[in-house]
Amino acid sequence: MANSGGNANRQKMINLMYIVFIAMMALNVSSDVLEGFAKVERGLKQSIASTEEQNDALGRAMADAYKHNPTKTEQWYKRSESLSQRVDALFAQIQTLKQMIAEQTDGADAQADSLRRRDYLGASDEVMLNPLSKRGRALRDSIEQFVSLAQTLMPENADTQRLLSLLDTQSGPSGMSWEEANFSGMPSAAAITLLTKLQNDLRYTEGQLLSTLIKSIDAGDLRVNRLSAQIIPESRIVMRGDSYRAQIVLSSTDTTQSPRIVVSGTELPAEAGGLYTVQTRSSGVFPVKGFIEMQMPSGQIEQREFSSEYTVVEPMATVAPVLMNVLYAGIDNKIDIAVPGIPSSAVTASMTGGSIARQGNLWVARPSQVGSEATVTVSARMPDGRTSVMGRSTLRVRALPDPMPYIDIKDPATGAAKRFKGGRITKQSLLAAGGIKAAIDDSLLDVAYTVLKFQIVSFDSMGNAIPEVSQGAIFSERQIQQIRNASRGKRLYITEVIARGADGIERKIAPLELILN
C-alpha cells in the first residue's frame, strides 16, 4: 500500500491492520455471500454478451456506411476501427489477469468462471500487486491510455466525459493507488468479479462511443432503404426502485427534424430526444410497445412499430464469498438458484446422482450416493418459448458428520427446552428426560439422529466400573435404578452411544460425562 505521509512505519502498521481486518471478515462471512458473487458474475457475463452483439451490429453499420460512401465516412470508420482494436486488446489483457488469479487460486487446471476456492485471499495480491510484475499498475496504465485515445477520437462534450468516467482510475482512500484500493486483500471470487465488471464497463463504453461516431454521419444519405424503428434500452435488467431507460430511434433519422414517438399510447415530448423513462415499483417482466412516425422528403408519413420488454428484479447486495460447494447425503439440502433477467417461474433444474425439486423460493437437492459428485443443470424458458441451458454446477456429496449426544431438559429459569451436553445436572432433571438424543447442532446443520443404544457407567467405592446397557434411546429399568442409587457429586458416564442418521449410516459417537447435583 502507498504511504499517505508522516511516519512511514506507522502507516505500514495501519496498512497491516487493515489487511488483517479484511482477512478476519472473510473468515466469518456466510456461505450466501460467495454465491452472491457467482450470481453477479453470471449477470455481468450475460450483459457483456448482449453488449458485444450490439457493438457488432454497430460495427457492421459503420462498415456498411463506409462501403456506400467512403469519402464522407472514412475518418469516422478509421476512428471506430482504432477504438475497437484498443478495446479488444484491453479486454484480452483483463481476461488474462482473471485466468492468472484463477490459476493462483486453484492450480494450473483452474477456470476463472468456476473457482473451487473462491474465498482464497492470496491470489489477488500476488497477481495484481506483486512489486516485481506490477500487473495492477500495468492494467491501470492500459486503461488510462485507452481513455486518452478515446478523448482524441471523440467529440469533446459532456456525454463523452460521462462515459469515460466509468473507467476512472483515480487513487483510492488514504493515498492508496487504484489497484491497491480494488485488489488488496480481496477474495479470488471478488477480484475476478471486479475484473468482469471492468470488462462490462469497457464493452458498454465501446458501444456508446461507436454510437456517437455513427451519429456523426448523416445517416439519411446512406441508409434510406433500411428505414426501421429501434428501441435501445440501457439495460433489460432493472432493480426494483431504479428507472428503466431506453433510447427509441429511427435508424435513418434526419437530424433536421424530430420523429413522433408514441409509447403505450402516450406521445413522448420532442424535448425528450427519444429518451423513454418509467419508474419501476415491482418486479416482473414488462412490455414496451409503440410506433415512430417520420415525414419523408416526399411528404409521406412513414410509421414503424417497435416492441421490446424489460425485466425488473429485486435488488441484490454482494458482501463476501461462499464457503464450499457441498451436499450432504440422506437429507434435504436447500439451494438458491437464480438466473439474472429471468423470472423464477421460468427457471427449471435437474440433478445427476439424486433429485432436486422446487420448494417455495428455494430448491431442495437430495443426493443419493456419498463420495460422488452431483451436477445441477439449470435451464430457463426464454420469452420466445424456447428452453436454454443457463449453466451447470458440480457439487461434492459428503456423508453427514458425526452428531453429538445430548439430554433434553428444561431450563429451570425459563422453562424452555435445552440441550444438555455434559456437566452438572440434577438427578430429577436426568430422570425426567427419560433417555438421551443425538443431533448435528452447529451453525450450518441441525439434523436429528436416532439413538440405537448406549450404556451408563458408574464406579463403586473400589473403583470398579458398573456398566448398564439400554436397548434404544430410553433409560432401561436398571439404568434408572443406577441413577437413583447414585449419590450427590457422583459421576456417571454415558458411553458406547450408537446413532443412525438419515443417510442410514450407524455411528459410534462421543460420550457424555454427568455430575449429579
DSSP category for residue 167: G
Gap between the Cα atoms of 335 and 358, Å rounded: 9
Dihedral over Cα of 123, 129, 134, 136: its sign: positive
* Contact (CB, 8 A) for 330 and 502: yes
Strands 284-295 and 512-516 turn out to be unpaired
Q: Which amino acid is at 54?
A: Q
Gap between the Cα atoms of 223 and 234, Å rounded: 24
Per-residue H/E/C for 195-239: HHHHHHHHHHHHHHHHHHHHHCCCHHHCCHHHCCEEEEECCCEEE
Dihedral over Cα of 342, 347, 353, 356: its sign: positive
Q: What is the dihedral of CA 411, 417, 423, 425, to 10 degrees?
A: 60
Please state, as a whole number, how many other Cβ atoms lie within 10 Å of the Cβ of residue 148.
Answer: 11
State residue 181's pLDDT score. 87
Residues 6+ apart with CB under 8 A from 279: 243
**Nearest CA among 383, 388, 387 for reference residue 287:** 383
Q: Look at residue 350 and give its three-state secondary structure.
A: strand
**Nearest CA among 137, 146, 134, 150 for reference residue 177:** 137
State residue 240's pLDDT score. 56
Please state, as a whole number, how many other Cβ atoms lie within 10 Å of the Cβ of residue 275.
Answer: 14
* Contact (CB, 8 A) for 278 and 243: yes
Per the listing, cell 433536421 goes with: 256
Residues 6+ apart with CB under 8 A from 294: 227, 250, 253, 254, 257, 259, 260, 301, 302, 303, 304
For 75, 217, 296, the CA distances from 254, given in Å and listed in that order, are 21, 11, 9
CA atoms within 13 A on the CB side of 156: 2
CA atoms within 13 A on the CB side of 188: 28
* Contact (CB, 8 A) for 183 and 198: no
State residue 324's pLDDT score. 52
Biggest CA–CA distance in the chain, Å, is 118
Q: Which amino acid is at 364?
A: V
Please state, as a whole number, how many other Cβ atoms lie within 10 Å of the Cβ of residue 366.
Answer: 18
For 48, 102, 203, the CA distances from 90, given in Å and listed in that order, are 14, 19, 10
Q: Vertex 33, ends 234 and 351: CA angle to 5°?
A: 90
For 173, 408, 515, the CA distances from 424, given in Å and listed in that order, are 54, 14, 5
DSSP category for residue 474: B
Q: Where do the H-state alpha helices sit in 238-362? A: none
State residue 322's pLDDT score. 38
**Nearest CA among 18, 33, 22, 20 for reference residue 118:** 33
Determine whether domain 222-324 maps to CATH 2.60.40.10. yes
pTM exceeds 0.85 for this model: no
* Contact (CB, 8 A) for 484 and 392: no
CATH code for residues 326-398: 2.60.40.10
Given its phi and psi angles, is residue 353 left (phi above 0), alpha (psi -120 to 50 degrees) or beta? left
Dihedral over Cα of 399, 403, 408, 411: its sign: negative
For 94, 128, 130, 132, 225, the CA distances from 140, given in Å and listed in that order, are 11, 10, 14, 16, 44
State residue 159's pLDDT score. 73
The residue ranges of the chain whose pLDDT is under 50 are 1-30, 219-225, 239, 316-323
For the segment 260-270, what is each residue's pLDDT rounded down to a tens digit? 899 988 999 88
Q: Where in the chain is the domain with CATH 2.60.40.10?
A: 222-324, 326-398
State residue 257's pLDDT score. 66
Please state, as a whole number, how many other Cβ atoms lie within 10 Å of the Cβ of residue 481.
Answer: 12
**Nearest CA among 419, 439, 410, 437 for reference residue 494:** 437
